């Protein structure tokens, strides 16, 4: 496998995608769940960050309930296709640079940290419903 092929197989998964997949009442649930199944069937390497997991957990707790929040975290921990990347100090510095450099955009620190990790790992594709990823220049998979 070439480096280009290896990198092309990587997909960053954002909070919004995980939330849509986890919440059956979400308007995007069916499409997001179908895309997640396709990514798994294609054996795509899924990456996310500890920041995304913290953001997802808080969202699930407030919008759904504690059981769902705990179940989703346990499923992600058990996933063989998902790699949880710790945001490094360097990633966080880069994220802060992104937030201050793009003053015309409302990038959250969590999103900017995702962008920094995507840059570091050479991931150009994101499974997300958050248009900020496209505004930064990433390819978004359309659920």
Q: What pLDDT digit, counting tens, does each position of 56-112 carry?
A: 999 999 999 999 999 999 999 998 889 999 999 999 999 999 999 998 999 999 999
Distance between CA atoms of residues 18 and 56, nearest Å: 7
Q: Is the pTM here over 0.85, yes or no? A: yes
Q: List pLDDT tens digits, range 42-67.
A: 999 999 999 999 999 999 999 999 99
Any idea where the domains of the chain sit in the sequence? 3-133
CATH code that applies to domain 3-133: 3.40.50.1010
Which tokens hold the place of 49? 């960050």
Please tell me the distance from the alpha carbon of residue 53 to that of residue 63, in angstroms, as a whole number: 15
């Amino acid at each position: 496998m070439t480096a280009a092929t290896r990198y092309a197989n990587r997909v960053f998964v954002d909070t919004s995608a995980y939330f849509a997949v986890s919440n059956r009442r979400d308007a995007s649930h069916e499409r997001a769940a179908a895309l997640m199944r396709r990514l798994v069937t294609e054996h795509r390497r899924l990456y996310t960050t500890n920041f995304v997991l913290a953001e997802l957990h808080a969202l699930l707790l407030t919008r759904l309930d504690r059981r769902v929040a705990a179940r989703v975290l346990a499923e992600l921990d058990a996933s063989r296709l998902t790699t949880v990347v710790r945001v490094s100090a360097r990633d966080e510095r880069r994220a802060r640079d992104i937030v201050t450099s793009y003053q015309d955009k409302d990038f959250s620190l969590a999103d900017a940290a995702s962008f920094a990790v995507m840059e570091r790992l050479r991931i150009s594709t994101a499974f997300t419903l958050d248009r900020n990823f496209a505004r930064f220049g990433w390819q978004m998979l359309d659920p």
